[in-house]
Amino acid sequence: MKTIEQKPKYNLNEDEEKKLIVREYRALMRLLKDKLKPGDKDLIRAAFEMAAEAHSSMRRKSGEPYILHPIAVAKICVEEIGLGVRSTICALLHDTVEDTDVTLQDIEKEFGEEISRIVDGLTKISNVIDTTASQQADNFKKILLTLTDDPRVILIKLADRLNNMRTLDSMKREKQLKISSETMYIFAPLAHRMGLYAIKTEFEDLAMKYLEPDIYKDIARRLADSKRERTRYINEFIKPIREKLEKNNFNFEIYGRPKNIHSIWNKMKKKQVAFEEVYDLFAIRIILDSLPEKEKEECWKVYSLITDEYTPSIERLRDWVSNPKANGYEALHTTVMGPRGKWVEVQIRTRRMNEIAEKGLAAHWKYKEGTAAENRFDKWFQQIRETLNNDDPDSVSFLQDFKTSFLTEEIYVYTPKGDIKMLPAGSSTLDFAFAIHSAIGAKTIGAKVNHKLVPLSHKLSSGDQIEIITSNKQTPSEDWLKFVITPKAKNKVKDALKEEKKKVADEGKYTLMRKLEGMGVTMYQGNIEAIAQYYKLNSNLDLFYQIAIKNIDLKELKEFKVFGDRLEAPSPVKAAEQKSEIITAPAHHPVPAKDAELIIFGESSDRIMYHLAHCCKPIPGDDVFGFITTGKGLTIHRTNCPNAAKLMANYGHRIVKTKWAKNKEISFLTGIKILGIDDVGMVSRITNLISGELKINIAALTIEATEGVFEGNIKVFVHDKEELDELVERVLKLDGVETVERYDTEDLPK
């Protein structure tokens, strides 16, 4: 695991800077040594000089010369992703067209059409940060279009983002939150899907360092403290396995590696356990030197040797050797009971599999040569192309759909004939039906999963065999959108509903035409638009549809003024019924500018309309940000709110810096969950401590005991986070109490 340290403040003179730049450039050339062909050195030198000249007057926020950034991106491309000379040239030039006077024509003239095209792709997606949500989604579409054309664009973009994350210390706090959230929301899943596991885990850890600094530091400290004991245990676990592998004449490498901080934190949250109780703080990795034709056989032989020594957990076997992931990942994972009753995860790979796991797509192409893995990538790209061809006006929902469909884990399911289909985890039987064929999906009335009848909303699991039941009388309904997750299924359902809506709308169109004729005016476009605007509707279709289903009473048309053949709408009375799209705040205190800092509560607080988010229940002392909400002013969220990453990644322009002012006059409702051993007098001990000793008001309390274990849910009014932290600490010290947790989400008991 990489430790992430604070960089010293940049302070070099001009001569030292020049030496540093030359040193970094030479380090890059050393990395490329084995990949250079005649003439390559001159091309890279020319790219470096063009970039150095173009960026000569620019500096990074840290004070460093800007050229160090493209060199660092190029080094990541070569060393950590395994890209070659042409990608190095593109990485060196990736910011020139966006930030300097260099043009694409200059690059094409000097380096050719291919490099110019990749730099163009990188330029189009360089503005993802600090744009509106829809612009960002449109940019993201451009990333994906280029990905299907030349994946090097996305790989260089990931290298660029990794260098930005590694140097984020010099940025302002709100920029750190914004970029980290965006990294977690889009770039970490994208790196994972491209097979770049090392980069994906570093993205997660670096983002967590800024989004949850206290928890990050605490886990890092605990990992450091337990390192010696962990090393001793790993050696004890490995010893008998090493002997068996040597006895069976395997060429191999075996070692233990710590899990990344973010995945440990996820385990702690998911399983609701303390750091000490997370059993898989590390994984044992075995890498075999195998011939291509013997890889599968030897991986299973090693699995057999390990399970002869240690008892495996059957549910925890993952066979990605027989069925590789869509991104090409291959390995056998098993979890076994090691010495002293500890569960240990073991990963078995060959040297080729390991290179693909570490370097993803770039390594995959080195080995592909018409394999099934190549097929999987091609299918994935084809699915992305299909999704991008759909002109859904809602770009933000497109981004969410893309994340759900292409950046999550996939499951493998089977048709009745045994053909395999790959779907995103969480897919329903209806998603499967549309994956078979759009016409089958539209006519689906039911399904059998493993020969049992299930509803259309049934969530599929890997290994399921599905038979779809259809009827010619069936048509898609609005409900279907609630349980399909794949873009193909969603788009086809929306298209079918739109067609149905058009049929109904025709009736409304005829009704409106008769009404207008009765008023002596014709049904020309200007009149229809005037009526649609009056009723606050976005299109003619919506207007005709609302008339057809009797949601609009055309009696109000008598309020319109008639000028010859033209209608003029009165003041839109319906406007009051619509949700205002303007942020309401007192006129003398406008919504703060983006770089202003909003102070909430206390005498110095800004008098502005805001409320506390229900999803995370912030209280004074929490690390928070303001989010400009249409119609509600500002909503205050905690930075570790479950919705924070999505808000900051999609709507960065609506984020406002926010901090608390001390105010002991106002109390805030929050809640804690207590687990412990059921014992006589436990309730009175808890209530005496909270109400009696700490003088904290209890709003509600429920305690349930089953089979010797109790669970308590308590709502309390506190003034700030310090008071809540003290409460948690004191309750935890009570005899019989095992865990005390603050409610982070809307799980706060009603």
Sketch out the chain's domains with CATH numbers: 14-211 (1.10.3210.10), 221-367 (3.30.460.10), 376-493 (3.10.20.30), 494-577 (no CATH), 597-660 (no CATH), 668-742 (3.30.70.260)
pLDDT of residue 736: 83
- 597 or 663, higher pLDDT: 663
% pLDDT > 70, the chain: 80
**Is it the case that residue 392 has pLDDT exceeding 90?**
no
Residue with tokens 């409304």: 508
Give yes or no: 113 in active site: no
Confidence of residue 145 (pLDDT cuts 50, 70, 90): low
If 0-12 CB within 10 Å is exposed, 13-18 middle and 19+ buried, where does residue 357 land? buried
pLDDT of residue 721: 83
Mean pLDDT calculated for residue range 614-618: 81
**Is it the case that residue 310 has pLDDT exceeding 90?**
yes
**Is it the case that residue 110 has pLDDT exceeding 70?**
yes
**87-96, 227-236, 292-301, 604-613: segment of lowest average pLDDT:** 604-613
pLDDT of residue 192: 80
% pLDDT > 90, the chain: 16
Mean pLDDT calculated for residue range 684-709: 85
pLDDT of residue 578: 35
Q: Where are the alpha helices (DSSP H) in 285-413?
A: 295-309, 351-367, 372-388, 395-406
pLDDT of residue 430: 92
Confidence of residue 130 (pLDDT cuts 50, 70, 90): very low
**145-149, 511-515, 621-625: segment of lowest average pLDDT:** 145-149
Confidence of residue 390 (pLDDT cuts 50, 70, 90): low
Residues 6+ away with beta carbon under 8 Å from 223: 1, 258, 261, 264, 281
Which phi and psi angles does 410 have, rounded to 5°? -110, 160
**Is it the case that residue 126 has pLDDT exceeding 70?**
no
- 490 or 405, higher pLDDT: 490
The 3-state secondary structure of 34-98 reads: HHCCCCHHHHHHHHHHHHHHHCCCCECCCCCECCHHHHHHHHHHHHCCCCCHHHHHHHHHCCHHH
Q: List the catalytic residue out of 40, 99, 280, 679.
A: 99
pLDDT of residue 481: 86
**Is it the case that residue 349 has pLDDT exceeding 90?**
yes
Q: Which of 188-202, 249-263, 618-632 has the highest mean pLDDT?
A: 249-263
**Is it the case that residue 289 has pLDDT exceeding 90?**
yes
pLDDT of residue 505: 82
Confidence of residue 602 (pLDDT cuts 50, 70, 90): very low
**Is it the case that residue 595 has pLDDT exceeding 50?**
no
Confidence of residue 636 (pLDDT cuts 50, 70, 90): confident
**Is it the case that residue 18 has pLDDT exceeding 80?**
yes
pLDDT of residue 155: 84
**359-363, 390-394, 435-439, 509-513: segment of lowest average pLDDT:** 390-394
**Is it the case that residue 371 has pLDDT exceeding 50?**
no
Mean pLDDT calculated for residue range 15-33: 88
pLDDT digits (tens, 9 = 90+) for 531-588: 887 777 777 778 888 888 777 777 777 777 777 667 777 765 443 333 322 223 333 3
pLDDT of residue 308: 92
Q: List the catalytic residue out of 24, 53, 98, 149.
A: 98
Q: Which of 79-88, 232-241, 261-270, 495-504 has the highest mean pLDDT?
A: 232-241
**Is it the case that residue 86 has pLDDT exceeding 80?**
yes
pLDDT of residue 203: 93
Confidence of residue 404 (pLDDT cuts 50, 70, 90): low
pLDDT of residue 296: 92
Residue with tokens 């788009």: 491
Angle at 126 between CA 121 and CA 129, to 5 degrees: 145
Cβ proximity of 739 and 274 under 8 Å: yes
pLDDT of residue 314: 83
Mean pLDDT calculated for residue range 239-261: 91
pLDDT of residue 385: 58
Cβ proximity of 186 and 403 under 8 Å: yes
Confidence of residue 654 (pLDDT cuts 50, 70, 90): confident
How many residues does the structure list for the chain?
750
Gap between the Cα atoms of 440 and 143, Å rounded? 32
Give yes or no: 14 in active site: no
**Is it the case that residue 248 has pLDDT exceeding 90?**
yes
Gap between the Cα atoms of 301 and 304, Å rounded? 5
Confidence of residue 299 (pLDDT cuts 50, 70, 90): very high
Gap between the Cα atoms of 585 and 719, Å rounded? 26
